Structure 1
């Protein structure tokens, strides 16, 4: 609790700026200074819990993580680990306990916490579009950030300056994520569906880092990864934490070099039986964790997918009409 009070005093200025401009906005970039690494957010929680329609999803969770550290949330599937990840990033409202992320109290400052945090590899909330290329994903994320998260002062800058800043953000994010687009089968024109699992994870981490968050949250890090790939994934997150960003990662088995390990399957909880994250009837609805930006992003992807399906539906009719016209001319 001493760290919670100290972080509140130290981060009160950041909390105020988060309410007005956001943790990833231009005002924060100006405050940090050009070229500075993002400052990590401390994560502190005491007796933290979330209750769903069928009982407690997680309860009596304690977290004490310093800024710029690697935090592993360990537990079996269905133990509430993803809901804990979303609650600590301001995307799901807790039921009991006290928590602060970057000095911002939860749930009172959930919106501000969302602005200083970013999600990667969270099914249903932060996913790649299989039809888009790597370059298209990166450009889309930059445009969405400029449209919804950018500082009003950025609109006064020239187009060349904004393009240069976008290129710099993309290059920095790719470097931090360890993704070499030149090594991909078709370079940055490689579709997301053609990426290997580890490459897809690196791309999602790079997309999250474009906004320069203070907290990066990654779900199911070790899902369907081999032993070698799992080690590479943890090295990736360790390097991100080493650059100053606090990393919160959900996993089945925490690595030995994690700074903090939070176990969601520990502690007395007689109400947890029957509660599973994968069942919509037994756990909180993950759609509630969508921010306005997430909803707009998801709607854009759904509209694009619907247009592709409509084009495919009309294509046989067009081909038939062309064949009849060609037959008539013959």
Structure 2
């Protein structure tokens, strides 16, 4: 594959805070172009959030990072134009009903429509088809996936693929755009030792062709630039009495999309109240409503006692 030149990735005290607290915090990184960067940590430690932040899909709330000449968190769009994602649940999910060939043709068409230049769109149809076929063949070769070896060839549905084949297909789809930075999630999830070794060898070969690869894993391979998201590495220092912990964040309003289409969290809360303001007002109105009633009962009792005393006085005079 005619690989592009990779991008250098750096980060300094990089962090992202969401409605439930810090997804990751204090990340420091310095990886040369063409490096294999392994985001290592247990599930739920913010690995995917860090992957999405480094590829311009999530906006960090603390620190800075740089992907090539683009700076984060300000230049998200610039990072997205030079990066691609593969095998990220909820982001790059494959349609199980579509075939391998349909996925590849669809991605090549989208790349030509949205990733190419206007001049490329005006070329003759034969040239455009040849360019698309060339991109697909190069991406499949780089991902180590040969459709002819599948049960039904290119007409094999995604639902019939093995897990490692699904991963390779997702990689091939991402590589059609010839990214300079490739992000891969769940690299070693539910794979055998042999399959895991094969995937790491594949990602290493991509870096040797010039692409910088960021891969999420539970255990990093030898030779990778390791970024740990384990709790001890992402812990904050706000609670001085209990080092290594981050105090829980106050309940937040729902997340709102920012102007550039990247998700952000609105952390504005009513920290002084446990109940909505409407409930507090209703309780206050209820308390106010019961006070005059109590006073009215008291006045009524007083008038009744006064009337009894007047009748007794009249009877005595009679």
Instruction: Work out which of the residue numbers 231, 244, 268 in structure 1 matches 2:210.
Output: 244
1:268 lines up with 2:235 in the alignment: yes
Aligned to 1:175: 141
Instruction: Work out which of the residue numbers 212, 222, 236 in structure 2 matches 1:256.
Output: 222
CA distance in 1, matches of 2:188, 2:171: 14
CA distance in 1, matches of 2:111, 2:122: 16
- Conserved 8 A contact 1:70-1:237: yes
What is the TM-score with the length of structure 2 in the denominator?
0.74
1:39 lines up with 2:10 in the alignment: no
CA distance in 2, matches of 1:98, 1:66: 17
- Deviation of the 1:138 alpha carbon: 0.2
- Conserved 8 A contact 1:120-1:217: yes
Aligned to 1:120: 86
CA distance in 2, matches of 1:163, 1:84: 37
Aligned to 1:100: 66
- Conserved 8 A contact 2:57-2:76: yes
Aligned to 1:9: none
CA distance in 2, matches of 1:287, 1:123: 20
What is the TM-score with the length of structure 1 in the denominator?
0.72
Deviation readout 1:267-292 (Å, 9 max, x if unpaired): 532555779xxxxx99x97998x979
Moved over 4 A (4+): 270-275, 284-288
- Conserved 8 A contact 1:48-1:60: yes
Structure 1 residue ranges without an equivalent (≥5): 1-34, 276-280, 293-330
- Deviation of the 1:127 alpha carbon: 1.1
Tell me the SS of whatever aligns to 1:213. Answer: coil
Tell me the SS of whatever aligns to 1:139. Answer: helix
Structure with bigger gyration radius? 2
Tell me the SS of whatever aligns to 1:176. Answer: helix
- Deviation of the 1:257 alpha carbon: 2.7
1:206 lines up with 2:172 in the alignment: yes
CA distance in 1, matches of 2:199, 2:248: 31
- Deviation of the 1:148 alpha carbon: 1.6
Distance 1:241 1:291, change over 3 A: farther
1:225 lines up with 2:191 in the alignment: yes
Higher share in helix: 1
- Conserved 8 A contact 2:88-2:184: yes
- Conserved 8 A contact 1:91-1:291: no
Instruction: Work out which of the residue numbers 110, 114, 135 in structure 2 matches 1:148.
Output: 114
Tell me the SS of whatever aligns to 2:179. Answer: coil
Aligned length: 250
Distance 1:64 1:41, change over 3 A: same
- Conserved 8 A contact 1:234-1:255: yes
Aligned to 2:158: 192
Deviation readout 1:34-62 (Å, 9 max, x if unpaired): x8421101110000000011211111000
User: Over aligned residue pairs, what C-alpha RMSD do you find?
Assistant: 2.3
CA distance in 2, matches of 1:286, 1:247: 30
